[in-house]
Amino acid sequence: MRIRRTALAGLALAAITAGTAAPAMAQTARTAPAAHATARQALPPVNPDALRRAIAGLPDAEGTAAQVRVGGSGGSWQGVSGVRDLHTRRPVPANARFRAGSVTKVFTAAVVLQLVAEGRLDLDQTVQHYLPGLLPENYRPVTVGQLLNHTSGLPPADQSKGLPAEETADGFTWLYKRRFEHWTPERIVALAVQDKMEFEPGTAQHYLNINYTVAGMLIEKITGSSYERQVRERILRPLGLRDTSLPTDDPFLHGPHTNGYQVLDGKTIDVTVWGHSIEWAAGNLVSTTADLERFTRALFRGDVVPAAQLEQMFTVPPKEVRMYGDAKKEANYSMGLTRLDLPGGIVLWGKTGGRYGYLTGIGGLRNPAGAGESPRTLVYSYNSVDAKSESVKPRMMNIIMTAFS
């Protein structure tokens, strides 16, 4: 569940799309022809010097460390900058772990779509059918697909509800004080459904963690086992992602890792040790750039989600579906990924994630033929000292633009 509604959704990566989507809800959704983007602008070679400059100078006033991996047929590059921690100022260790935040949603969506391919879930069937009694009786029917592409209309779970205004004024202090508090999915949903639905399901798009909290509950209901186990058995083990985990209540980063920091009123606070059970299936992943690169390449190649369902991850809602609260902006979230249009006709697909102290991004271009190895992928981790602010956008977009244009 997202801490604030402004949590960096606009930084998401993306990639060249193909094909059409399945079932009724996606028949008029927007996709990009697979070969279209690369035909309009040739992909430039990887520029190591420019990438090195994009992450140079750390630590500085805005961040402490960065890790970047670029891969694909046009060349590859990997580099790090900055320090593991501000106390020892040791360099970033090889394959350092970090909190990947909402990149978790890509893994969650992939498991749900695998269950769809197996005939165990139906994207057009309702949450009320699979999880009777979870949502209030006066809520409109919400489909599984609407959860995954954030068109459900479900309200956010506002953790600050009932707390004194002075306690929640800066958006960080009260969360930091409660960083070891345990949250169950049931508690998160119960908090959210105290409010009415934001809009008629399917008519708008609002990126909220509550959608993926419910998706995680669906995974558990259908499989009869834990969400964490399903991700491990279906994705982590088959792909050999040995440095990726879903820690649930464990607040520590084990093994080599980068420390996270938040600057507040001139004071630097170490936020490395922090329990994220409230993010759960929406944002509790810990990983490395190497593991996320392997996952991204496998996903785009079609080795994680079967082809028919994979198209849903490269399909956004039709143009008449607008962003909630901003009718001028078209929906840009698919089932697990985000579409980002760059200059020259390049369309990227991917996902970002933000936790205090940590910003992560994965993404790439789809193969021009619609299947096979991605021409280019990007994975980055950036240790920002103000990860929830808009000030991080220029550096993040500089990394993205340098990698793809």
Q: Write down how long the chain is.
A: 405
Rounded to the nearest 10 degrees, the angle between the axes of helix 185-192 and helix 210-223 is 130
Q: What CA dihedral angle connects 142, 143, 144 and 146, to 10 degrees?
A: -80
Residue 370, CA distances (Å) to 19, 244, 295, 375 in order: 8, 28, 18, 11
Q: How far apart are CA 231 and CA 248, in angstroms?
A: 13
Q: How far apart are CA 38 and CA 50, in angstroms?
A: 21
Q: Active site includes 76?
A: no
Assess whether the previous peptide bond of 91 is cis (omega < 30° from 0). Answer: no
Rg over alpha carbons for the chain, rounded to the nearest Å, is 20
Q: How far apart are CA 146 and CA 316, in angstroms?
A: 11
Cα Dmax for the chain: 58
Q: Cβ neighbours of residue 267 under 8 Å, at least 6 residues apart?
A: none
**Neighbouring C-alpha atoms within 13 Å toward the C-beta of 364:** 29
Strand 322-323 and strand 204-205: the pairing is parallel
Catalytic one of 76, 81, 102, 225:
102
Phi-psi label, residue 308: left if phi above 0, alpha if psi -120 to 50, beta otherwise: alpha
Phi-psi label, residue 57: left if phi above 0, alpha if psi -120 to 50, beta otherwise: left
Of 360, 344, 364, 340, nearest in space to 352 by CA = 360
Of 245, 262, 259, nearest in space to 93 by CA = 259
Contact 360, 353 (CB under 8 A): yes
Q: How many CB atoms lie within 10 A of CB 285?
A: 30
Q: What is the DSSP letter of 213?
A: H
For the annotated catalytic residues, the residue numbers are 102
